Amino acid sequence: MLLIHPITRPQRFITGKFESFIGVSFAVGARRHGQPSAAGATRSFYSTAPVNPFPAANPSTSNLVRGCDPAVGCFSLSASNLIPVNNSFHTTTPSRFSIRSNSFSKMAATKDYRLLCLENPLLDIQAFGDEALLEKYGLKANDAILAEEKHQGLFEDLLQNYDAKLIAGGAAQNTARGAQYLLPPNSVVYLGGVGDDKYAAILHDAVKQAGLRVEYRVDPKISTGRCGVVITGHNRSMCTELGAANHYDLEHLKKPEVWSLVENAEVYYVGGYHFTVCPPAIMELAKQAASGNKPFILSLSAPFICQFFKEPLDASAPYWDYVIGNEGEAAAYAESHGLNTTDVKEIAKALANLPKENTQRKRVAIITQGTEPTIVAIQGEDEVKEYPVHSIDPAKINDTNGAGDAFAGGFAAGVVEGKSIEESIHMGQWLAKLSIQELGPSYPFPKQAYPGHN
């Protein structure tokens, strides 16, 4: 049996670019954060019909969707089935919608949406390819890069000519889908930035399949972020264009209809990649959590966040009720903050005992270590606990991409439901174990019920 634990996000620094490999977010060059958009530039989506998760029952659409189910939030769809509607796009699948200038979803904010997540949405376009496809776009078999001009044709190529699996990606969106997988319907809402294009239409359809509510800032001038994934054997070549995900702003968050969702939420989850986009939005959520004594969960996301976005990260630290990272991120934090230790337990204790704004809650620091036990430190407590990871037959492992996001989703679901730290850790490990048996950051269907921890 092989012990598997989720959070592993290798990354590297390349000239002029910060790059993370999984659940991707990049900062390319310098940009100002939180700048308001031009008048009328922000638009949202709404659905005009309920989703039919069994499209084969409709002869006109049975050949359009392959391997689609509500739990996974991903499907295969030919780009030829996307048609323009009023200069936007929708699909000819039973989930019909268009991107409109309506400012908000018709669904009113209710206490249903207890978990609110924020980060950078991407449409993952995954397909099995070959060496010829890699050579065509100058890709390496096992790599992750930012898209350049020569890569622009890749996304359409995968959609048009391959049996592409489309996933509502980006680390925190994977986490949001994971939490919704475990929680009752209408429990999770996700915020981020997309474009006004067919890729946003596909992305919106994918999250609808997963039962996830989204309120996207829509940028009419910048395309939706995409990640083309070419699978060859056990290798994955990832080519990412962040697009509109890199342009979320505070104006969208503070819109009354969006802010009402913020006020309604009981738990907040922010992926650390968003420090590269709009730190003011993170701070607004953090302060809202503290003022209402509501849990605020932050994922460190990647070592480069701790190293190169230290200032906004540290500004948010007093508001962390839970902070999640892996051993690489913990090491980067320790080095960048002069902790003079590589001991994971000591780093966890240091994170847990940072100054805290909301003193009604003890901070909990969680550090995962691959196949080694998960480390948990609690503010003001000397004991650092270890939780062994769940075991799995290696033959059942299909894809570990996004497993760390699944862990965070399971853990966040536990927090929402008021579970103990131990139970929430096990919920995260259980969901990650399911995810690595799927292709990409996905979850099995029919939906499996969490069996509880004995």
**CA gap 165, 236 in Å, rounded:** 14
Give the bridge partners for 396, in sequence order.
none
Q: What is the pTM of this model?
A: 0.77
pLDDT, tens digit, 9 for 90 and up, residues 349-362? 999 999 999 999 99
From CA 163, how far away is CA 74, in angstroms rounded? 12
**Token output for 223:** 């395309």
Amino acid at 51: V
The CATH number that domain 113-120+168-223+241-434 falls under is 3.40.1190.20
CA distances from 439 to 40, 92, 302, 399 (A): 39, 25, 22, 6
Q: Give residue 102's identity as a one-letter amino acid code.
A: N
Q: Are 130 and 232 in contact (CB under 8 A)?
A: yes
- Element (H or E) spanning 155, and its range? helix 152-161
Cα(230)–Cα(154) distance, integer angstroms: 9
What pLDDT score does 392 carry? 87
Tokens of 361: 């809650």
Note the pLDDT of residue 390. 86
- Whole-angstrom distance, CA of residue 105 vs CA of residue 93: 20
pLDDT value of position 131:
94
In angstroms, rounded to a whole number, what is the distance separating the alpha carbons of residues 429 and 107? 33
Q: Calculate the alpha carbon distances from 301 to 8, 82, 120, 213, 361 in Å.
A: 9, 34, 12, 23, 23
Decide: 67 and 76 in contact? Cβ < 8 Å. Answer: yes
Distance of CA 432 to the CA centre of its chain: 14
pLDDT of residue 95: 33
For residue 439, the model assigns a pLDDT of: 79
Q: Has 249 been annotated as catalytic? A: no
User: Per the structure block, which two tokens stand in for 84?
Assistant: 């323009």
Beta bridge partners of 407: none
Catalytic residue among 69, 196, 219, 405: 405
Write out the H or E segment, with its range, that includes residue 216.
strand 213-219
What's the rounded Cα separation, in Å, for the pair 291 and 304? 30
Tell me the pLDDT tens digit for each residue of 414-437.
999 999 999 999 999 999 999 988
- Chain centroid to Cα 311, Å, comes to 23
Closest CA to 269 of 338, 213, 322, 316: 322
Report DSSP state, residue 43: B
**Using one digit for the tens of pLDDT, what is the confidence trace for 5-61?**
333 333 333 323 333 333 333 332 332 323 333 333 333 432 222 333 333 333 333
The span from the CA of 124 to the CA of 454, in Å, is 36
What is the residue-wise DSSP string for 162-199?
S--EEEEESHHHHHHHHHHHHSPSS-EEEEEEEESSHH
Contacting residues for 449 by C-beta, under 8 A, at least 6 apart: none
* Predicted confidence pLDDT, tens digits, the chain (454 residues): 334 333 333 333 332 333 333 333 333 233 232 333 333 333 343 222 233 333 333 333 323 333 344 444 544 444 444 433 333 333 333 333 333 333 334 444 447 999 999 999 999 999 999 999 999 999 998 887 878 999 999 999 999 999 998 889 999 999 999 999 999 999 999 999 999 999 999 899 989 989 999 999 999 999 999 999 998 887 888 898 999 999 999 999 999 999 999 999 999 999 999 999 999 999 999 999 999 999 999 999 989 899 999 999 999 999 999 999 999 999 999 999 999 999 999 999 999 999 999 999 999 999 988 778 999 999 999 999 999 988 888 888 887 777 889 999 999 999 999 999 999 999 999 999 999 888 778 899 889 999 987 6
Burial 191-223 (b: 16+ CB within 10 A, else e): bbbbbbbbbbbbbbbbbbbbbbbbbbbbbbebb
Q: Within 13 Å and on the Cβ side, how many CA atoms surround 205?
A: 30
Both tokens of 239, joined, read: 């080519």
Q: Is residue 31 packed enough to be buried (19+ CB in 10 Å), middle (13-18) or exposed (0-12)?
A: exposed
Whether the CB-CB separation of 424 and 414 falls below 8 Å is answered with: yes
User: Given this model, what pLDDT does residue 219 score?
Assistant: 97
